[in-house]
Amino acid sequence: MFTAPATVELRDEPEPKVARDETLVHVRSAGICGSELHGVRHPGFRVPPLIMGHEFSGISDDGQSVVINPVLSCGSCDLCMRGLRQLCRRRALVGVHRPGGFAERVAVPQSALRPLPATLSWDVAALIEPAANAVHAWRLAGGSAGMRVAVLGCGAIGLFCLLTALDGGAASVEVTDLSAARREEAVRLGASGASAALEGEYDVIFDAVGSAATHAQSVRSQRPGGVTVWLGLADETAGFDSTALVRDEKRILGSFAYDDDDFDRAAELVSGWDLTWATGYPLTAGAEIFTTLMNGGPQPVKALLRP
């Protein structure tokens, strides 16, 4: 539970109350997201006390294996009617605006439940949600075969951007990260090269860090007419020379979550990917693992908590 700025604790809480339009889910695996690490250190979007966790799979109270699409929308506004549920002006997120999956059991709106493909393990199913972010970003960028791609940051979202680009037929995918271990992991997964900073220029750049420095690098390293997609949330500062956007027709796109098709596509893709870089831990170790990652620990790349 997120209890105070920069503080998470293991606590006993009352059993969740299940409303008429909700289902009790018995959680089997829940991923720790980088946005949660940032959100606990710099509270704002998430307000303590809060049981976080928006990437999770489990069993519904009626015995169905499910994965959770945590994006909740009104379903009736102009954006929802256009299929842009993730941009709903009244959107809410499981694990952000209401209790999430870092618990044995959680009450989840029935609209958030998705059937779990029988071939997927609980851990792989919990990775569908972060993978969907990368699928969405690739689609926004107009990703296609033959593109020169760069990924800034080799955390989970960065690695999913790498895997998505490779699956989409990218001619090359260069990655950057300050951690040598994470760079090595990216190369093992198929990155064309890995370094601490980009050299050359690229058709598409995914910024999975979101710092002022990576923002600037993502613009600087675009080819004229290229595009960068920002997914990271590390820094509110833009940090780049905006005149380059005009002179070279460079583009910056923000990417938030995914639509339903992106989520379904991610569920198809994850079964064929090497996801051994995700590491499972008992829920009782969650506060310790979370705190280590929040304080800058590079490992594990992705932590999954198992109640």
The pLDDT tens digits along the chain (307 residues) read 999 999 999 999 999 999 999 999 999 999 999 999 999 998 888 999 999 999 999 999 999 999 999 999 999 999 999 999 999 999 999 999 999 999 999 999 999 999 998 889 999 999 999 999 999 999 999 999 999 999 999 999 999 999 999 999 999 999 999 999 999 999 999 999 999 999 999 999 999 999 999 999 999 999 999 999 999 988 888 888 889 899 999 999 999 999 999 999 999 999 999 999 999 999 999 999 999 999 988 889 999 999 9
DSSP 218-256: HHHTEEEEEEEEE---S-S---S-THHHHHT--EEEE--
State residue 118's pLDDT score.
84
Q: Is 278 strand, coil or helix? A: strand
Contact (CB, 8 A) for 304 and 281: yes
State residue 234's pLDDT score.
81
CATH number given to 131-254: 3.40.50.720
Domain spans, the chain: 2-127+275-306, 131-254
> Which distant-in-sequence residues (6+ apart) come within 8 Å of 72 by Cβ?
91, 92, 93, 94, 97, 109, 111, 112
Quote the pTM value.
Answer: 0.96
State residue 241's pLDDT score.
82
Residues 52, 164, 221: CA angle, nearest 5 degrees:
100
Cα–Cα dist 35/48, whole Å: 15
State residue 74's pLDDT score.
95
State residue 288's pLDDT score.
96
Bridge partners of 306? 282
State residue 43's pLDDT score.
87
Q: Crossing angle of helices 156-167/128-140, nearest 10°?
A: 60
Check whether domain 2-127+275-306 has CATH 3.90.180.10, yes or no: yes
